[in-house]
A and B are shown apart, each in its own frame.
Chain A
Amino acid sequence: MIAIADYGMGNLRSVEKAFQYLGQEAFITEDPAAVRGASHLVLPGDAAFGDAMLNLRAAGWDAAIKDHVASGRPFLGICVGLQLMFATSEEMGLHTGLELFSGRCRRFPAKERVPQIGWNQISMQRPCAILHGIDEGSFFYFVHSYYVETDVPEESVAVTDYGISYTSVAARDNAFGVQFHPEKSQKVGLRLLANFAALK
């Protein structure tokens, strides 16, 4: 059973629908305690980093997420969900994140249009379970103004170019994060979610 964290931010229904379309059992929950019985946890998000962290902490999600990851069960952060897995963000002031990855979120340089909206390619840096069966250079749907900069090169498993080359898929052991929206990326996105759901 896949739990989708509802902390008052973002379009969670589409993530749930994508898993249901794949024949996976998924549920949206506002209760961090409900995650204890789940095999997988997904953290979506479309909000500003600071507001999102405030909401996560207020409901006790930060501790529940860390417990889930520490237990070895699969975890997936999507969009701002990926950014929240990092240590800090410079979005509207300096904020501390979940610190699952070492690094920070930064705003795109001004030479490109911000936000980045649309389909961009990923370039794979190292093998990763959730990218299994997905072609090099596949297009995914992105919407974001901030990107993550990781301190640990091994944790950057795919990168994307938008004025700069940045990490679009991060992974360590059972913790995964994607900057794009797999639930809005047609066939390749569904494949990624199916790969995640298949993890033990």
Chain B
Amino acid sequence: MLAKRIIPCLDVKNGRNVRGVKFSADIDAGDPVELATRYDAEGADELVFYDITASSDGRNIVMDLVQQVSERVFIPLCVGGGIRTYDDVRAILKGGADKVSINSAAVLDPQIITRSAESFGSQCIVAAIDALRRPDDGSGAPSWEIYINGGRKATGIDALEWVDELVRRGAGELVLNSIDADGTRDGYDIELNRAVAERVDVPLVASGGAGTTEHIYQVLTEGKASAALAASIFHFQVYSIPEVKTYLSARGVTVRHYEP
């Protein structure tokens, strides 16, 4: 049976792993290579490296990290943050990443998804979105707006319509980051995940808000996500990956247990 995935995310700035709250205030969370090695030994199902500087220098630092990690860590590695062009996608895949996560660039020019999926296959093209819940308009149906540039710029685009387009253009997987929940440790936006999961057929990675094992359980069951991404609870060792997986197993969720 296909296991639900637990994916630690490493937010990288100047070669250090950092963690923000609601897209601001960085806290130093250690050496990324060390962390990646620890997550691998704990049985992470995948690793995401996120360049939060979104600059070309930042990219080089992240790709150096991926190089070092890929010499000894044999799980899928995904790189995101500041991808602007098709050539960026190609360079990252050539540099040893298995997947590329594209966010703002897809909004600015959706062709980047189409072209990358055609060239490299949908399996390595991940589309990430940053979504902010809209105020209740009285209709009772929740809705979300797409933001770009690290959650700083509103686009006016409806999140549910946007995920349809991303999948139609060939994205093989979606990462849904809730701006409301990011860094709060108050729980994932379950409604956002479920609304998207019921709309598209590709796998969904929930992101933003993990604070407890219960939150992860909720988003993988009620939220219908295929995978849960988390940063701070793992970096600061609130929970280890085996603790999360043991909890999920006990509650009937299929996960992969790993002994190094």
Contact = CB atoms under 8 A, between A and B. Distances in A.
A1 interface: no
A145 B76 CA distance: 17
Q: How large is the interface on B (under 10, 10 to 19, 20 to 34, 35 or more residues)?
A: 20 to 34
Contact of B202 (A11, A114, A119): A114
Interface string B56-99: 00000000000000111011100000000000000001001010
B211 to A, nearest CB: 24
B123 interface: yes
Interface stretch (B1-9, B25-33, B135-143): B1-9
A184 B98 contact: yes
A73 interface: no
A155 to B, nearest CB: 24
Interface in A163-200: 181, 183-187, 189-190
B43 to A, nearest CB: 8
Contacts of A114: 201-202
Contact of A143 (B3, B96, B123, B260): B123
Interface string A124-135: 000000000000
Interface stretch (A13-21, A56-64, A97-105): A13-21
B256 A139 contact: yes
Contact of B76 (A17, A141, A187): A141
B1 A118 contact: no
Interface string A79-122: 00000000000000000000000000000001001111111110
Contacts of A143: 76, 123, 172
Contacts of B3: 118-120, 139
A14 B173 contact: no
A172 to B, nearest CB: 27
Contacts of B203: 113, 115, 117-118
Contacts of B260: 187
Contact of B120 (A46, A121, A139, A142): A46
Given A47-B121, A48-B121, A186 B5 contact: no
Contact of A186 (B1, B40, B98, B123): B40
A117 B46 CA distance: 11
Interface residues of A, number: 35
A25 interface: no
B23 interface: no
Given A21-B74, A189-B74, A46 B5 contact: no
Contacts of B45: 118-119
B123 A21 contact: no
Contacts of B93: 11
Contacts of A189: 74
Given A11-B93, A120-B1, A184-B75, A110 B201 contact: yes
B65 to A, nearest CB: 15
A16 B132 CA distance: 42
B218 interface: no
B76 A184 contact: yes
A30 interface: no
Interface of B: 1-5, 40, 43, 45, 70-72, 74-76, 93, 96, 98, 120-124, 172-173, 201-203, 226-227, 256, 258, 260
Interface of A: 11, 13-14, 17-18, 21, 46-48, 110, 113-121, 139, 141-145, 161-162, 181, 183-187, 189-190
7 contacts: A18-B74, A115-B203, A117-B226, A139-B3, A185-B74, A186-B74, A187-B260
